[in-house]
Structure 1
């Protein structure tokens, strides 16, 4: 669960004394091996502040990958886990550039930090006093927007709060109670219920159906888990699936006013080098029905989750091994993609695999599986590999038959 921060902790950690204490604690290793020694040292130097100092340094170190520019930020453990990676938030902000935006679940301000440079007015609200205080620290917002000093009885944040010289406003408000007009709404409902991750829209916090009802007719973008059943939701706008460095990070529901007419699905592939590629269901999806080619390609997870495998194949001159399986095949590998060069093909029999891999001096073995119920780790142990040559097995089915492709993996080209 992590340390439970209070408003007093935030005030101290954001002060000159707290900053100096954090710098002192940051010199320690804070590893499992040094845990007891480090805690004792911090307690001797900083007394009752020790727990908040250690937790803040730990969270800052953890945040470096997700929020690389947030070196002096304050976090809670839950808020950091839910925070949008900076590159993903920046991509969303680019789609909203020039609009006034209200993040109704702003938490510690990760979205607001990326919106502020491109939007004329950015409002953040939350019901959590501690997270709002952390957001004020993280964004450099002055005390004029202290949520405890700004009630919202007239349902108009803009009329109640101003921050001279800044376009960021913070306020305490319920996400289900509209408190701004003429703004794009951003929301990120918490995806845990009773301590467990949920994919039920009604169990999100706040519940997704209630959130959409509260802002009916408004332009809205809602972050959600990629595993949500979007067809069941009957969303009439766009569903965008976003991956970062090969890992699917989120889905975003865009209302019709925030997307191009006719687009209902979008895959956005980001990487830390600054490359962005997008694909939508407006692209052609006609592909040939041919035997397996020289290469097998495993499309990015965003493409798969968005249901755009055929569209991706058509764009790159590929086709599917099986119409119900996401693996693609062809005679070339798309730029930037890792490909698997097919060297042989076998029936799915453990004895055959063991003999063939031994004959080829196989040592390390990557196993990719789709459409077949096989545990790659368990299979790898059964194959008893003792060689030195690396291979990749792509295990799937074509029609009803299980099939194994013996491949050599080739790194992405640029």
Structure 2
């Protein structure tokens, strides 16, 4: 659960004495092996503030790759875990550039920092006084937003207090310490949030595990991945999206590359036998239901209409591809014999549409060779097929 920060803690940590103390504590290892020794050292020097100092330094270290400006930020443990990664928040801010925006669940300000870069008027509100104080610190501690006029206020997200703004919301997805995909279990509940801002321009961050087909949403559902990991879904009201777009996949990279695909793109692809390569689309594309659109853009086709694996005779730049060297039936005895013949050792197993546990299969095969291979196990029609492939690579 982490340390329970108070407003007094925030005032101390954000002041000159607190910043100096944090710099000193950051010089400690703070590893499990040194925990007791380090904590005792901090307690001797800073007494009642020791826990707040140690937890803040640990949180900053954990947040470093996720939140790019967080070296001087303040967090609670829950707020850090739910904070939107900088590059994802930056992508949303790009779409809202030039608009007046009100983040009604601003927490410690991860979204506000990015919105302040692109939007002329930004308001953040929350019910938690501690998080609001942390947001004020974080905005002032970020060079690109220090001095920018961002209004912070204490307000209930379900009680609108602004007019004419785009509303941004990020309902908490944890109940009793566990993640939930139930829209009614979010805090605030998603149905209540949508009702409170009916008719307004609205962007709501949600878990990518929501069942979008059961969600009565007239606008766009965007699924966002970062460096290959699906991070979130975002609901965009009709006034904030392009005409005819109801699904979007945004594939982001730490390099700064951005790839976008929508259901307004063509999904016309040929039906052909498996090609030389199997391609595993990015998770955002799969979760957004845009596999055929992805294939159409790059001249690929599907192994099976109901399976997300694609195939083709080349791998477009940046895609994950597996070169097919053999195709077999799913018979373990035959499969093991062939893998042993090929001196297989390290074996990656990818499965879609077939009830196979990759770890259990790998253990049963008992391979001790020297060559790495990949197995792609999937269903084509009614039958399971196994494709033996060389180790995956990015196309160039």
Alignment of 1:28-107 (within 5 A): 28-107=28-107
1:10 maps onto 2:10 in alignment:
yes
Map of 1:178 onto structure 2: 160
C-alpha deviation, 1:165, in angstroms = 5.7
- Specify the SS of the correspondent of 2:394: coil
TM-score relative to the length of structure 2: 0.97
Q: d(CA) in 1 for partners of 2:43 and 2:117? A: 40
Map of 2:198 onto structure 1: 216
Residue among 160, 169, 192 paired with 2:174:
192
Q: d(CA) in 2 for partners of 1:350 and 1:37? A: 53
- Specify the SS of the correspondent of 2:167: strand
Q: d(CA) in 2 for partners of 1:165 and 1:248? A: 33
- Specify the SS of the correspondent of 1:252: strand
C-alpha deviation, 1:307, in angstroms = 0.1
1:333 maps onto 2:310 in alignment:
no
Residue among 354, 359, 367 paired with 1:372:
354
- Specify the SS of the correspondent of 1:290: coil
C-alpha deviation, 1:92, in angstroms = 0.3
Map of 2:363 onto structure 1: 381
Alignment of 1:105-254 (within 5 A): 105-140=105-140, 166-254=148-236
TM-score relative to the length of structure 1: 0.93
Count matched residues. 392
C-alpha deviation, 1:288, in angstroms = 1.1
Contact 2:281 2:320 survives alignment (8 Å)? no
Q: d(CA) in 1 for partners of 2:313 and 2:363? A: 32
The Cα offsets for residues 315-346 of structure 1, whole Å up to 9 and x where unpaired, read as 11111111110000111112111210000011
Residue among 285, 288, 294 paired with 1:312:
294
Contact 2:321 2:395 survives alignment (8 Å)? no
Q: d(CA) in 2 for partners of 1:409 and 1:361? A: 14
Map of 1:412 onto structure 2: 394
1:399 maps onto 2:378 in alignment:
no
Q: d(CA) in 2 for partners of 1:7 and 1:113? A: 21
Residue among 248, 259, 281 paired with 2:263:
281
C-alpha deviation, 1:309, in angstroms = 0.3
C-alpha deviation, 1:99, in angstroms = 0.1
- Specify the SS of the correspondent of 1:116: helix
Q: d(CA) in 1 for partners of 2:355 and 2:66? A: 33
Map of 1:264 onto structure 2: 246
C-alpha deviation, 1:193, in angstroms = 2.2
Unaligned runs of 5+ in 2: none
1:292 maps onto 2:271 in alignment:
no
- Specify the SS of the correspondent of 1:2: coil
Unaligned runs of 5+ in 1: 142-163
C-alpha deviation, 1:43, in angstroms = 1.0
Contact 1:338 1:409 survives alignment (8 Å)? no
The Cα offsets for residues 196-220 of structure 1, whole Å up to 9 and x where unpaired, read as 2111111110011110110111000
Q: d(CA) in 2 for partners of 1:296 and 1:165? A: 51
